Amino acid sequence: MEQISPTRMTLLQKRSQLQLASKGVDLLKKKRDALVGEFFALVHETLEARKRLEAAAKDAYFALFLAKAFDGPEAVDALALGMPVLSDVEAEVENVWGTKVPKLIARWPEGAAVSPIAMGGQTLKAQEAFRRFAEALVEVANTETRLRRIGEEIKKTTRRVNALEQVVIPGVLHQMRFIKLVLEQREREDTFRLKRIKAKSEKEEKQPATA
């Protein structure tokens, strides 16, 4: 235990430390509640995004295998040559209750970038289905990263609350109790000392009179 000087000044300092820690606990609990709310709202969104990703993947691969069957695997693979995958990708940072959450914004090229005349319809469908798959993938990346970051922040905040509630505040209270005990003891000693002095001086005052 840290060495503290049991004075009234220290007691006042510890009292204000206790108030600050209690206020911090309240704030952190509010932050944690808000993050938990955000987390649960995101869980649903993430599950939905996962479902959309799975459905998009299923559609995309089914469309691709139809395209390869009808238009030939070589021709379908060749169409992918020179096809721009992304026009642009940006990463924005959002602030969710003090937590930095990255968000990817992908932009896709407009149009099919191939002649629609002789291209097989299944290949076009596959191209579109894979675009939706890629969009769903970016959405899942965004929601799951957000969820993970918020989850980590909840853990961190819970650790802080626990540290304050179970270590810092009990420590300060203990110190305050110790200071109070010392101060009370000192007060009792002072009272006793004063009584003794008073008794002694009264005794001395009586003695010359009798002498």
Binding-site ranges for other proteins (CB under 8 A) = 61-62, 65-66, 68-70, 72-75, 77-79, 81-82, 111-122, 124-125, 128
Pick the closer one to other proteins by CB: 73 or 170: 73
Specify which residues 89 forms β-bridges with: 106
Question: Cβ 63 to other proteins, closest distance in Å?
Answer: 9
CB of 76 to other proteins, least distance (A): 10
Complex with other proteins: residue 9 or 117, whichever CB lies closer? 117
119 or 137: CB nearest other proteins: 119
Please report the beta strands in the chain, taking only residues with DSSP state E, as ranges in sequence order: 88-96, 99-107
- 154: nearest Cα among 75, 84, 99: 99
Distance in Å, CB of 125 to other proteins, minimum? 6
Neighbours of 38 (CB within 10 A): 18
Residue 71 CB, nearest approach to other proteins (Å): 8
Q: Scanning the structure block, which residue is given the tokens 């599950």?
A: 47
Using only the alpha carbons of the chain, give its radius of gyration: 37
Q: Looking at beta carbons only, is 64 or 154 nearer to other proteins?
A: 64
Q: Which two tokens stand for residue 52?
A: 């959309």
Q: Between 86 and 167, name the residue whose CB sits nearer to other proteins.
A: 86
- Minimum Å gap between C-beta 124 and other proteins is 5
Contact 174, 11 (CB under 8 A): no
User: 63 exposed, middle or buried (CB, 10 Å; 0-12, 13-18, 19+)?
Assistant: buried
